[in-house]
Amino acid sequence: MTDQEVGVLAIGAGPANLALAVAIEESGSDELTRGTLLLEQSPDIKWQRDLLMPWARSQVSFLKDLVTLRNPRSRFSFLNFLHDQNRLDEFVNLATFNPFRWELSDYLQWVAANLEKVRIRYSVRAETIEPTRDADGLISGWTVRLTGGDTIRCRDLVIGGGRDPHVPEVFADLPKDRIVHSAQYNSRIAQVPKDRKIRPVVIGGAQSAAEMFMALHQNLPLSEPTIVIRSIGFQSYQTSKFVNELFYPSFVDDFYNSPAEVRAQILDEMRLTNYAGLAPPFLEEIYLMLYQQKRLGPRRSTVRAMTEVVGARMAGDEVVLNLRDRKTGKVEPLHCDLVLLGTGYDAGMPRLARALAEKAGLSEISVSRFHRVEMGEAAWGGLYLQGVNEETHGIADSLISVLAHRSHDILGDLLARRAVPTKLRSA
């Protein structure tokens, strides 16, 4: 067991914390750079590990990588990754701004491997996190104990693990081995024998649900997938260039400074830009698959739109879903073997953030423009939250669109706070 002290400790080595790590490494602050450590629970870095389908594409331009919009000359750009891997000509020949998801995943691992000063520790998990207080009771830092007994103490803690998966209450009584959230898809489906004829049912109508629905046809070739969609059917993402301006990093200031009721209205009106739709090319692929099945057979797939699940139970070895047709109000059972949830993530703050706020003595979580939890200016230790601040920073906060600029904002705050001498911190 070891006891280590660092300046900045980032939990999770996904895109958000990697972007911050690069910004810190390029900052010119040797003290901050060498004093930063990222913790990653997996043995490597993969983007959306359990939805890493070979055909899945990013819906965001590769120019919105970890660095380009902050520093176009950075050696950590996606284009430099392609050049370094002798893949630039082939990628340019694709004539697309939207790489395959696995390409971006490879890019993230390449970035991690090319950090020279910021360190990443793999295959470790934080078991407990506690605030450290000074003689006046103010938070001076954080103590993190890892599974296995090691301890890491830091001044600033950055949480970049994302939101908690959303499992609707109606499925609460089903056994865990009969439910697969999209965050677990590849891992769990790999455990199902391919020669087994099963009846999987996907719940949801957005991108992750549709990707699982499509993937089932390949991953379980004897399956007969059904997808249940509460809305009128699959819908396309809103891709208007006018609406896309709301994903500009500069819009974060406008959003943050707007009244709460205006922010809520904007988030509601922007749902079809991210949460409630599919990428248009992928929408076309699904339609063509269903059309071919209808005309050529076999009819493996079923899409049940305007339908909601009102009950779920086990009956022997079967899962029985009670489905209500929203057009007629009629309720009928659907017998299946496995339920796959494309139901997204909880909108509120994740459990870890709420637990840390409670330990810090906060009754609610208020986040500054620089993504730091407000704990009073006298608090020496900081807590930064990445990717969970949509309510105050806009819908792009959970996406890769603003990673480069957000890392710049957090870096600026880290440097500004370090410029304040210890004796003046309560001034």
Residue-wise pLDDT tens digits, 6-21: 999 999 999 999 999 9
What pLDDT was estimated at residue 296?
Answer: 94
pLDDT digits (tens, 9 = 90+) for 141-184: 999 999 989 999 999 999 998 889 999 999 999 999 999 999 99
Residue 9 CA to residue 24 CA, distance in Å, equals 12
For residue 387, pLDDT over 80 is answered with yes
Higher pLDDT, 244 or 223: 223
Residue in 90, 106, 103, 110 with CA at minimum distance from that of residue 56: 103
Q: Which of 161, 203, 160, 163 is nearest to 185 (CA)?
A: 203
Mean pLDDT of 39-65: 93
Query: What residues does each domain of the chain span?
Result: 3-164+346-424, 169-237+274-341
Lowest model confidence (mean pLDDT) among 112-116, 224-228, 416-420: 416-420
Residue 237: pLDDT band with limits 50, 70, 90: confident
Output the pLDDT for position 74. 97
Q: Does the CA dihedral 175-178-182-188 come out positive or negative?
A: positive
Classify strands 119-122 and 200-203 as parallel, antiparallel or unpaired.
unpaired
Question: What's the pLDDT score for residue 53?
Answer: 92
pLDDT at 125 over 80: yes
What average pLDDT score do residues 102-119 get? 96
Q: What percent of the chain has pLDDT over 90?
A: 82
Query: For residues 103 and 245, what is the distance between their CA atoms, to the nearest angstrom?
Result: 26
User: Does 75 have pLDDT greater than 80?
Assistant: yes
Position 426 pLDDT exceeds 50:
no
Q: Is the dihedral of CA 184, 185, 191, 192 positive or negative?
A: positive
Q: Are 17 and 158 in contact (CB under 8 A)?
A: yes
The residue with tokens 């248009």 is 280
pLDDT > 90? residue 186:
yes
3-state secondary structure of 112: helix
- Tokens 């010119």 locate to 28
Residue 240 has pLDDT above 90, yes or no: no
Q: How much is the mean pLDDT over the chain?
A: 93
> Residue 279 is encoded by which pair of tokens?
């990428």
- At a CB cut-off of 8 Å and minimum separation 6, what does 106 contact? 81, 85
Q: Measured between alpha carbons, how far is 26 from 388 in angstroms, rounded to an integer? A: 25
Above 50 in pLDDT, residue 267? yes
Cα–Cα–Cα angle for 402, 404, 408, rounded to 5 degrees: 110
The contacts found for 216-219 with CB under 8 angstroms, 24 or more apart, are: 216/189, 216/340, 217/289, 217/300, 217/301, 219/189, 219/190, 219/192, 219/194
Structure-token match 């005309």, residue found: 295
Q: Is the dihedral of CA 63, 64, 67, 70 positive or negative?
A: positive
Question: What's residue 422's pLDDT?
Answer: 57
Better pLDDT: 351 or 237: 351
Give the pLDDT of residue 136.
Answer: 87
Instruction: Give the C-alpha separation, 123 to 41, whole Å.
Output: 4
| Fold adopted by 3-164+346-424 | FAD/NAD(P)-binding domain (3.50.50)
- pLDDT (mean) for 241-249: 85
d(CA 155, CA 175): 42
Contact 115, 45 (CB under 8 A): no
Give me Rg for the CA atoms of the chain: 23
Which CATH fold topology does 169-237+274-341 show? FAD/NAD(P)-binding domain (3.50.50)
Position 427 confidence tier, pLDDT thresholds 50, 70, 90:
very low
Give pLDDT, residue 226. Answer: 97
Q: Tell me, what's the pLDDT at 247?
A: 85
Burial degree of 231 (CB within 10 A; 0-12, 13-18, 19+): middle
Q: How confident is the model at residue 421 (pLDDT cuts 50, 70, 90)?
A: low
CA 259 to chain centroid, in Å, comes to 26
Residue 408 is encoded by which pair of tokens?
């710049």
Report the pLDDT value the prediction gives residue 252, as an integer from 0 to 100.
Answer: 93
**Residues forming a β-bridge with 142:** 131, 154
What per-residue confidence (pLDDT) applies to 72? 96
* String of DSSP letters for 40-56: ESSSS--TTGGG--TT-
Q: Which of 10-14, 263-267, 271-275, 306-310 has the least mean pLDDT?
A: 271-275
Quick one: pLDDT at residue 57?
92
Query: Structure tokens of 322?
Result: 């009670």
Cα 400-401-403 angle, rounded to 5 deg:
60
Using a cut of 0.85, tell me whether the model's pTM lies above it: yes
pLDDT bracket for residue 376 (50, 70, 90): confident
Question: Side chain identity at 284, as an amino acid letter?
Answer: E
